[in-house]
Structure formats: structure tokens, C-alpha cells
């Protein structure tokens, strides 16, 4: 029997009819309240079916960096839709995809130059891991079949991606026995941490293909920050032990931390980078795994089996690539990075008062990411409800309340967002 949502009389018919047939992400369907029906999106606003407008604090999981419905992206997608929404990438090339590949290669530091397009972040991570494994196999090196990843990491929900997430704190504890076992270690901080990491690799590095890290910010693991010196230490350790370094910039890429890519702040060049989320300005599913020329060359051979054995049906989708090209135009024409840094300044100042509230463990901001960490999240449903009542879309998870707004958010909406955050966390603190 399809479960019907307990919606009010103003809920649209499609919600009542369809809710019994959808399965929502990360959601206990037995107890969750029904989702809010959205009529449309506009700039940094979400318009609900009942007419209420919410200031969007999340940018649809950190994707909508230019706000919603940007006219330049819409025009590019509309033009592409008329010409050719999709054509297969096996044996056929399309202009938006090849333009995108050359633009990404030009934006990323040398020698990152080979772009493999896919349709989601998790898949981009799977491809990066596969590239790293096969890089060694193609050179006749066997036994390098594991990865080093970090406590607090999140790299996606597919199986290999799950295996490099934090096994304890991540969302995938249940699958422990079914996942390949990786080396999950603390992110090295300070001299002692770096020395311990180095010693770990010296002891256990023989079966390792690559180290994978979310540079500067571990996102879905709790918006935890580390400094550029940690990335430099990882690059140094990978070089010393002959390992590949994969930077998962799916969350941090495209300005979120104040530079186009987080690795720039450390002047570190990884061997493989994964991109997705804001790649299309949050309009369509697209991802890229970008490898250095050295990795690519290890796949060149007379042996057909040495080729990279991956090829998603919708890879290099021209519509999504047209959206991505339009998004890159906007990064070129408009001051997105300066906007991200201005948002950081506001977030640091506006969220600081929360630090004094009982129950608040930490307040931090980096680029367009603001975080208030709490000591108790047993009332997460209460928090979510209060945020909607306050006119903002904020989705606390783990032990944090966070905002990652569009980089284009104006001063009034940004202030509205942080005022609401402070008000709700203050009320939470009083009632705890």
C-alpha cells in the first residue's frame, strides 16, 4: 500500500499522488515528514507550492554557484537542446564536450590535461580509483590494489567510493564487510602527524595505489577544515613513497573555498582530480575525472586491454557540457572568487556570536562555507522545521548547522540567512 504524506489541504496533488512511489535520499521513510513541494527556483530563492519563499542556504548541495535559473546558462542549454540534446561519446565527438575538456585542462595546472567525463561525483571517484589501479597494472606492477583515505572523508555512495569514506562516522557502516578494505588514517597535521603518516606509508604503503583526499574541506563528513600545509605534506609523502595523489574537488571546486580549486591554495598539483557539483552551475548532472599526462600515457599500448575500461552511457552529454561551458563563461566574466571571499568575511563576522552560546562547540568559515557545530543533534527535526519557519533553507546534518549559499547571493539575502541561523541556534541553545 503506497504511503500517503500527511500534507495539508494546500499541498499540490502531485505530491500526494507521487509520494507513495518515491524513495528519498538518506531518509527513514517510516518517520520522515513529507518533503516541501517546490514550485520554482529564482536566483537564491526557493519558491514553495504554497507561495512561501525561502532564502536558499545550501545551493542544492553546493551546486548552484551562480544562483538558480541563470539566464546565460538557460540560453546555452536551450540552444543546445534545439541542436542536439545527446549523442553517444563512443566513436562520436560533440563540440560542447571537447570545448569543455580543453577549458578544464587549461584551468587546471599542468600536467593535468586528460578529461574523462561522466555523470555524477561518485562515478567520477570510481573512475579516478580505477585509473589509479590500472595505472600500476599497465606498468606490470601488481599488488597495488588499495587506497589511503582519511577519517572524516566522504567520496560518494557507490561501492568503491564508499570504501574510501570514513568507515565509522560515514553513512556506510552497515556495509563494512562488503566493501574493499582501505587504509583509513587521520589527516596529518603538524610535524608529528606528518611523521606518523610517513611512517604508516613506509610500513603499509606497498599495496597502495593512491592517496585520496578532499582538499581543504571534508564536506559531507562534517565540513571539517584543514590547512594547505596538510595538502603539501600529502603531496610530499606521495612523492617520497611513489604513490599517486587524487584530489576530490567535487565539493571544493569552482570557487567554494575562495579559489577556483582548493589545491591552488597549497600550490599542490595532484595526479588526478575529480570534479562535479558546481561544474554545470548546478543545472545538470555532469562530472569529470582529470588525469595528468603521465597517468594517461600509462594507458597507451598495443594491448587493447590496457585501455581504460569505463564508458557511462550518458558521458559527455552535450546538454550538460553546454551548461558547464556557460558556467565557466560566468566564472570568466563575473567576480565569483571575490564574491566567495566576501561571503567568507560576512560569515566569519555574522556567525561569530554563536560561539558564546551554550551547546555550540565551534564556529568556522572558509570561502562560501559557514559552519556552527553543536554538541547535540538529537533535535535535528526541530531545527529543520525552525529554519523553514524562519524563511531559510538550511539542512543540518551530523553535528553541524551549515550554509553554502550561491556565490551570487546578495547582501540582504546573506544577512537574512545568517540572522535566521543565529536566531534558530540561539532558540535551540536556550531550550536544550
Ligand X SMILES: Cc1ncc(COP(=O)(O)O)c(C=O)c1O
Q: How far is the CB of 222 from ligand X (least distance, A)?
A: 12
The whole-angstrom separation of Cα 169 and Cα 404 is 22
First to last CA, the chain: 38
State yes or no: residue 246 binds ligand X (CB under 6 A). no
402 is catalytic: no
One of 144, 155, 172, 224 touching ligand X (CB under 6 A)? 155
Q: Of 29-37, 107-115, 192-200, 247-255, which segment contacts ligand X by CB under 6 A?
A: 247-255
- Reduced to 3 states, what is the DSSP secondary structure of residue 224? strand
Residue 208 or residue 250: which is nearer to ligand X going by CB? 250
Name which position in 132, 251, 316, 322 contacts ligand X (CB under 6 A). 251
Task: Give the binding range for ligand X (CB under 6 A) out of 153-161, 306-314, 357-365, 412-420.
Answer: 153-161
Q: What's the gap between Cα 60 and its chain centre? A: 11
120 binds ligand X (CB under 6 A): yes
Which residue's Cβ has the minimum distance to ligand X? 121
The residue count of the chain comes to 432
Rounded distance between C-alpha atoms, residue 427 and residue 432, angstroms: 9
Backbone angles phi, psi at 249, to 5 degrees: -100, 25
Exactly one of 56, 157, 166, 248 is catalytic; name it.
248
Q: Is 281 left (phi over 0), alpha (psi -120 to 50) or beta?
A: left
Q: Measured from the CB of residue 199, what is the shortest distance to ligand X in angstroms?
A: 27
Q: Does residue 154 touch ligand X according to CB under 6 A?
A: yes
| The only residue of 43, 96, 121, 255 in contact with ligand X, by rule CB under 6 A | 121
The span from the CA of 175 to the CA of 65, in Å, is 33
Helix 190-204 crosses helix 228-241 at what angle (to 10 degrees)? Answer: 30
Alpha-carbon distance of 215 to 219, in angstroms, equals 10
In the bound complex, what is the minimum distance in angstroms from residue 264's beta carbon to ligand X?
A: 17
Task: Tell whether residue 248 is a contact of ligand X (CB under 6 A).
Answer: yes
385 is an active site residue: no
CA 21 → CA 2, 38, 118, 267, 294, distances in Å?
7, 18, 28, 48, 47
- Does residue 214 bind ligand X (CB under 6 A)? yes
Asked if 231 touches ligand X (CB under 6 A), the answer is no
- In sequence order, which ranges of 84-120 are alpha helices (DSSP H)? 95-107
Which one among 65, 100, 210, 250 touches ligand X, defined by CB under 6 A? 250
C-alpha–C-alpha distance, residues 137 and 131, integer Å? 10
Report the nearest approach of ligand X to the CB of residue 155 (Å): 5
Residue closest to 135 by CA, chosen among 227, 240, 264, 271:
271
Q: Does 398 bind ligand X (CB under 6 A)?
A: no
According to the binding rule CB under 6 A, does residue 125 interact with ligand X? Answer: yes
The question of whether 154 is a catalytic residue gets the answer yes
Q: Which of residues 34-93 bind ligand X (CB under 6 A)?
A: none
Determine the interface stretch with ligand X among 84-92, 151-159, 196-204, 392-400 (rule: CB under 6 A).
151-159
From the CB of 261, what's the least distance to ligand X, in Å?
A: 13
Contact flag: residue 257 with ligand X (CB under 6 A): no
Nearer to ligand X, 156 or 270 (CB): 156
Please identify which residue in 219, 255, 258, 405 interacts with ligand X, judged by CB under 6 A. 219
- Residue 288 DSSP SS3: strand
Q: Which is nearer to ligand X, 185 or 306 (CB)?
A: 185
Identify the residue whose cell numbers are 507550492.
49
**Could you confirm whether 82 is annotated as catalytic?**
no
Minimal CA–CA distance to 158: which of 117, 119, 125?
125
316 vs 360, which CB is nearer to ligand X?
316
The crossing angle, in degrees rounded to 10, of helices 411-431 and 380-389 is 140
Query: Long-range pairs for 27-30 at CB < 8 Å and ≥24 separation?
Result: 29/3
Of the candidates 431, 423, 369, 427, the one whose C-alpha atom is nearest the C-alpha of residue 400 is 369
Closest contact distance (angstroms) between CB of 316 and ligand X is: 16
If one asks whether residue 276 binds ligand X (CB under 6 A), the answer comes out as yes
Catalytic residue among 277, 384, 402, 413: 277
Kindly state whether residue 126 participates in binding ligand X, applying the rule CB under 6 A: no
> For ligand X, which stretch binds (CB under 6 A), given 116-124, 141-149, 308-316, 350-358?
116-124
Cα–Cα dist 373/96, whole Å: 41
Catalytic residue, chosen from 26, 82, 303, 305, is 26
Please list the residues that pair with 210 across neighbouring strands.
147, 244
Residue among 19, 135, 154, 402 flagged as catalytic: 154
Distance of CA 302 to the CA centre of its chain: 37
Question: Looking at the annotation, which residues are catalytic?
Answer: 26, 154, 248, 277
Binding residues vs ligand X (CB under 6 A): 120-122, 125, 154-156, 214, 219-220, 248, 250-251, 276
Amino acid at each position: 500500500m503506497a504511503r500517503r504524506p500527511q500534507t495539508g489541504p494546500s499541498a499540490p496533488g502531485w505530491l500526494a499522488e507521487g509520494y507513495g512511489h518515491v524513495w528519498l535520499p538518506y531518509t527513514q521513510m517510516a518517520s520522515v515528514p513529507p518533503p516541501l513541494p517546490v514550485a520554482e527556483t529564482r536566483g537564491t530563492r526557493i519558491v514553495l507550492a504554497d507561495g512561501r519563499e525561502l532564502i536558499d542556504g545550501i545551493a542544492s548541495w553546493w551546486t548552484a554557484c551562480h544562483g538558480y535559473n541563470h539566464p546565460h546558462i538557460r540560453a546555452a542549454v536551450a540552444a543546445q537542446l534545439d541542436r542536439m540534446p545527446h549523442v553517444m561519446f563512443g566513436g562520436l565527438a560533440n563540440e560542447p564536450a571537447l570545448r569543455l575538456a580543453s577549458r578544464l585542462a587549461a584551468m587546471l595546472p599542468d600536467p593535468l590535461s586528460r578529461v574523462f567525463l561522466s555523470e555524477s561525483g561518485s562515478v567520477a571517484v570510481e573512475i579516478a580509483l580505477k585509473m589509479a589501479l590500472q595505472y600500476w597494472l599497465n606498468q606490470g606492477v601488481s599488488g597495488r590494489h588499495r587506497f589511503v583515505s582519511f577519517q572524516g572523508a566522504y567520496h560518494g555512495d557507490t561501492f568503491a567510493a564508499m570504501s574510501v569514506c570514513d568507515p565509522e562516522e560515514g553513512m556506510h557502516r552497515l556495509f563494512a564487510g562488503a566493501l574493499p578494505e582501505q587504509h583509513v588514517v587521520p589527516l596529518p597535521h603538524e610535524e608529528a602527524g606528518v611523521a606518523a603518516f610517513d611512517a604508516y606509508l613506509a610500513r603499509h604503503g606497498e599495496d597502495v595505489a593512491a592517496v585520496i583526499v578532499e582538499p581543504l574541506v571534508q564536506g559531507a563528513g562534517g565540513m571539517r577544515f584543514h590547512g594547505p600545509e596538510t595538502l603539501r605534506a600529502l603531496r610530499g609523502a606521495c612523492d617520497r613513497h611513489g604513490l599517486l595523489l587524487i584530489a576530490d574537488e567535487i565539493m571544493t571546486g569552482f570557487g567554494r573555498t575562495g579559489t577556483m580549486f582548493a589545491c591552488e591554495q597549497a600550490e599542490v598539483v595532484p595526479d588526478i582530480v575529480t570534479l562535479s557539483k558546481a561544474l554545470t552551475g548546478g543545472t545538470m548532472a555532469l562530472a569529470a575525472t582529470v588525469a595528468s599526462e603521465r597517468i594517461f600515457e600509462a594507458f597507451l599500448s598495443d594491448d587493447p586491454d590496457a585501455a581504460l575500461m569505463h564508458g557511462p552511457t550518458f558521458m559527455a552529454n552535450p546538454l550538460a557540457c553546454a551548461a558547464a561551458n556557460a558556467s565557466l563563461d560566468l566564472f570568466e566574466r563575473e567576480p565569483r572568487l571575490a564574491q566567495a571571499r566576501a561571503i567568507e568575511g560576512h560569515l566569519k563576522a555574522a556567525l561569530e556570536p554563536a560561539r558564546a552560546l551554550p551547546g555550540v562547540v565551534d564556529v568556522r568559515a572558509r570561502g562560501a562555507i559557514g559552519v556552527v557545530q553543536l554538541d547535540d543533534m538529537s533535535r535535528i527535526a526541530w531545527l529543520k522545521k525552525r529554519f523553514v519557519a524562519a524563511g531559510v533553507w538550511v539542512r543540518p546534518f551530523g553535528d553541524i548547522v551549515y550554509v553554502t549559499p550561491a556565490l551570487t547571493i546578495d547582501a540582504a539575502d546573506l544577512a537574512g540567512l545568517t540572522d535566521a541561523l543565529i536566531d534558530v541556534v540561539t532558540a535551540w541553545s536556550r531550550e536544550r
